[in-house]
């Protein structure tokens, strides 16, 4: 009896091919946010497995989704009827050279796993804010987290990447080896191949100080304006986020500021954090030294069926009207969550043309999440953004989007970046095999 190509693939790889109906399938078919029904999830144990999986998908005409740890907000790492190339088993974290702080990360590792190993050596890599998020998707999109103002985006620590391209070739991209691809990988997402491993330079981070402060909601706009003013002169060691939580119909939630001081000297931390405590009446405060690993939280499960609507834009200037509007909208829309992430510092110090992450000069990222899929709030969310757009940059961050339309892509890559990415794409993936991403079709 003839066997299916997906079953025959089992004989050619050392990882697993998981098919619908098999016991492991229900746990592997979905991403963190989105559900899928792929024809197969190929759990790759090494680069050879990735090559074989890709060859099989191409021969069978199966759409490919690449997964590191599955946290895509837009559901890009699963699909219906295609193949998921799952890199999660390739999760090695190796300190290659302690003196040079050179680190190799398998692209299926999570940031929690990376930070745990590196923390033993007083090292860390600027990442995000969540332990279970994967190295692959976050690095290829940018990576905005707690160390951003001190050490830049996560991808700013990248030295080289190894990938399997659409034709099955193994390619290394770095400053000395295909520098144009190296440029494209830093911000251009999964457009160019399956990255199997990353090499990065870690930073010396023996510890950090974490502060979480809450203020009455009635003071939110005034506190945010004071925060914005302070950010313009704050030391680079300080990266801070502001949170306006949804009320879900109950009492308004306080405004929260959370900050990471990237240093272990208590006097420096106290000096940097003191202005935050003077921004308004403080309801609660918690300031603690901790290892960097403990800065990374774990997201709770989403309520069944809820797919958050996520949209963002950079704010070149966090203006008074923008702050007033965000506060007013969270008062009005009870399922709206707003998060502001401070930028500048090391993020802005990189030449905008040096990587495919071109929007370097903003003072904050404005992220909004609608925690409702009802048509009414969704329509209000849309009309809110049509007004907010006049107060923000036209460009945003690709990893905080719950959709990946051509309009989304155009709002992530300014035209010069887009055309340069399309040229790299034409060279490496002329058939657009890797299109489950913020897709940049091949030029021409
Ligand atoms: C709870 C949560 C917290 C988050 N916090 C932050 C944060 O603090 N900072 C921040 O910057 N972002 C954050 N994000 C966004 C996050 O960066 C993106 O969702 C990212 O894509 C997740 O990475 P992943 O590897 O888990 O994604 P996956 O879902 O596995 O992959 C997403 C996409 O990335 C591409 N990709 C992934 N791995 C590879 C690879 N090895 N080779 C080629 N392409 C690949 C593919 O196109 C894939 O479809 C968060 C997301 C969530 C859900």
- Average pLDDT of the segment spanning 225-236: 98
Ligand 1 atom at minimum distance from 73 CA = 19
Cα(360)–Cα(21) distance, rounded to whole angstroms? 47
Q: What is the pLDDT of residue 419?
A: 98
Is the pLDDT confidence value at 1 over 80? no
Residue pair 127/296 in contact (Cβ under 8 Å)? The answer is: yes
Tell me the whole-structure pTM to 2 decimals. 0.97
The CATH code of the domain at 93-205+412-428 is 3.30.465.10
Say how many Å lie between the CA of residue 272 and the centre of ligand 1. 31
DSSP-derived 3-state class of residue 140: helix
Can you tell me the distance from the alpha carbon of 361 to that of 365, in angstroms, rounded to the nearest whole number?
11
3-state secondary structure 353-382: CCCCCCCCCCCEEEEEEECCCCHHHHHHHH
What pLDDT digit, counting tens, does each position of 245-288 carry? 999 999 999 999 999 999 999 999 999 999 999 999 999 999 99
Q: Do the bridges between strand 194-201 and strand 255-261 make them parallel or antiparallel, or are there none, so unpaired?
A: unpaired
Q: What angle is formed at CA 112 by the lines to CA 211 and CA 396, rounded to 5 degrees?
A: 70
Reference 202, options 272, 297, 299, 100; nearest CA is 100
* DSSP string of 73-87, one letter each residue: TT-TT--BSSEEEE-
Would you say the CATH fold of 93-205+412-428 matches that of 5-86? Answer: no
In this predicted structure, the answer to whether residue 302 has a pLDDT above a threshold of 90 is no
Rounded to the nearest 5 degrees, what angle is found at the Cα of 54, between the Cα atoms of 50 and 58? Answer: 175
* 349-356: Cβ within 8 A, 24+ apart: 349/152, 350/152, 350/153, 350/156, 353/416, 354/183, 355/155, 355/156, 355/183, 355/186, 355/187, 356/183, 356/184, 356/185, 356/186, 356/187, 356/188, 356/413, 356/417, 356/420, 356/421
Most ligand 1 atoms within 8 A of CB, residue of 54, 134, 343, 440 to mutate: 134
pLDDT exceeds cutoff 80 at 3: no
pLDDT of residue 112: 98
Q: Which of 111, 141, 77 is nearest to 312 (CA)?
A: 141
Question: Per DSSP, what are the bridge partners of residue 65?
Answer: 84
If one residue of 29, 38, 71, 302 were mutated to test the ligand 1 pocket, choosing by the most ligand atoms within 8 A of its CB, it would be 71
Q: Model confidence over 176-187: pLDDT tens digits?
A: 999 999 999 999
Q: In the 8-state DSSP scheme, what is residue 132?
A: T
- Among 149-153, 193-197, 378-382, the range scoring the smallest mean pLDDT is 378-382
Task: Using the mean position of ligand 1's atoms as its centre, give its distance from the Cα of residue 186 in Å.
Answer: 13
Ligand 1, atom 8: nearest CA belongs to which residue? 128
Mean predicted lDDT score pLDDT of the chain: 97
Determine the pLDDT at residue 265: 95
Please, which residues bridge with residue 364 across strands?
315, 342
The CATH code of the domain at 5-86 is 3.30.43.10
Q: Which residues line ligand 1 (CB under 6 A)?
A: 31-32, 65-73, 76-77, 87, 107, 128-130, 133-134, 136-138, 140-145, 189-190, 194-195, 299, 399, 436-437
44-96 pLDDT, tens digit per residue, is 999 999 999 999 999 999 999 999 999 999 999 999 999 999 999 999 999 99
Q: Report the alpha-carbon distance of residue 297 to residue 44 in Å, rounded.
A: 27
- Sheet with 208-215, edge to edge strand ranges: 284-290, 208-215, 255-261, 238-244, 336-342, 364-370, 309-315
Whether the predicted pLDDT of 148 surpasses 70: yes
- pLDDT score at 2: 57
Residue-by-residue DSSP string for 5-60: HHHHHHHH-SSEEE-TTSTTHHHHS--SS---B-SEEEE--SHHHHHHHHHHHHHH
- Among residues 254, 224, 244, 250, the alpha carbon closest in space to that of 369 is found at 244
Q: Of 80, 45, 50, 47, give the one whose Cα is nearest residue 63.
A: 80
Query: Tokens in use for 351?
Result: 């030449």
- pLDDT band with cut points at 50, 70 and 90 for residue 300: confident
Strand partners, 212: 258, 286
Region 161-171: what's the mean pLDDT? 98
Contact 53, 13 (CB under 8 A): yes
What residue spans define the domains of the chain? Answer: 5-86, 93-205+412-428
């Amino acid at each position: 009896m003839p066997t299916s190509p997906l079953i025959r693939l089992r004989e050619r790889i050392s990882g697993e091919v998981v098919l619908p109906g098999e016991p492991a399938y229900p746990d592997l078919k979905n991403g963190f946010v989105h559900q899928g029904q792929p024809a197969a999830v190929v759990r790759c144990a090494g680069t050879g497995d990735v090559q074989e999986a890709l060859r099989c998908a191409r021969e069978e005409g199966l759409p490919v989704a690449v997964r590191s740890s599955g946290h895509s907000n837009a559901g890009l790492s699963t699909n219906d009827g295609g193949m998921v190339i799952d890199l999660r088993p390739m999760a090695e974290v190796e300190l290659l050279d302690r003196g040079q702080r050179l680190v190799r990360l398998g692209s299926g590792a999570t940031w929690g796993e990376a930070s745990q190993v590196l923390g033993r050596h007083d090292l860390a890599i600027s990442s995000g804010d969540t332990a279970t998020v994967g190295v692959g998707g976050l690095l290829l999109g940018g990576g905005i987290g707690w160390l951003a103002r001190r050490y830049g985006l996560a991808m700013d620590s990248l030295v080289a990447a190894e990938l399997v391209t659409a034709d099955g070739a193994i390619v290394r991209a770095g400053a000395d080896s295909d520098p144009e691809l190296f440029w494209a990988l830093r911000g251009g997402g999964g457009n160019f191949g399956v990255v199997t491993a990353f090499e990065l330079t870690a930073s010396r981070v023996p510890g950090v100080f974490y502060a979480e402060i809450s203020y009455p909601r009635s003071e939110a706009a005034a506190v945010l304006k004071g925060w914005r003013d302070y950010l313009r002169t704050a030391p680079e060691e300080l990266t801070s986020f502001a949170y306006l939580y949804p009320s879900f119909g109950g009492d308004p939630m306080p405004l929260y500021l959370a900050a990471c001081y990237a240093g272990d000297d208590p006097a420096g931390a106290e000096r940097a954090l003191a202005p935050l405590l003077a921004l308004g009446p403080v309801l609660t405060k918690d300031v603690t030294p901790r290892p960097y690993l403990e800065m990374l939280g774990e997201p709770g499960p989403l309520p069944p069926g809820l797919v958050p609507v996520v949209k963002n834009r950079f704010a070149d200037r966090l203006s008074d009207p923008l702050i007033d509007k965000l506060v007013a909208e969270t008062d009005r829309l009870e399922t709206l969550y707003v998060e502001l992430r401070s930028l500048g510092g090391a993020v802005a110090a990189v030449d905008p043309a040096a990587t495919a992450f071109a929007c370097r000069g903003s003072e904050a990222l404005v992220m909004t999440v609608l925690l409702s899929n009802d048509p009414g709030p969704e329509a209000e969310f849309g009309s809110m953004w049509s007004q907010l757009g006049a107060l923000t940059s036209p460009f945003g961050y690709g990893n905080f989007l719950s959709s990946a339309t051509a309009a989304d892509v155009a709002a992530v890559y300014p035209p010069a970046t887009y055309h340069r990415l399309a040229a790299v794409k034409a060279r490496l993936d002329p058939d657009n095999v890797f299109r489950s991403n913020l897709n940049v079709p091949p030029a021409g």
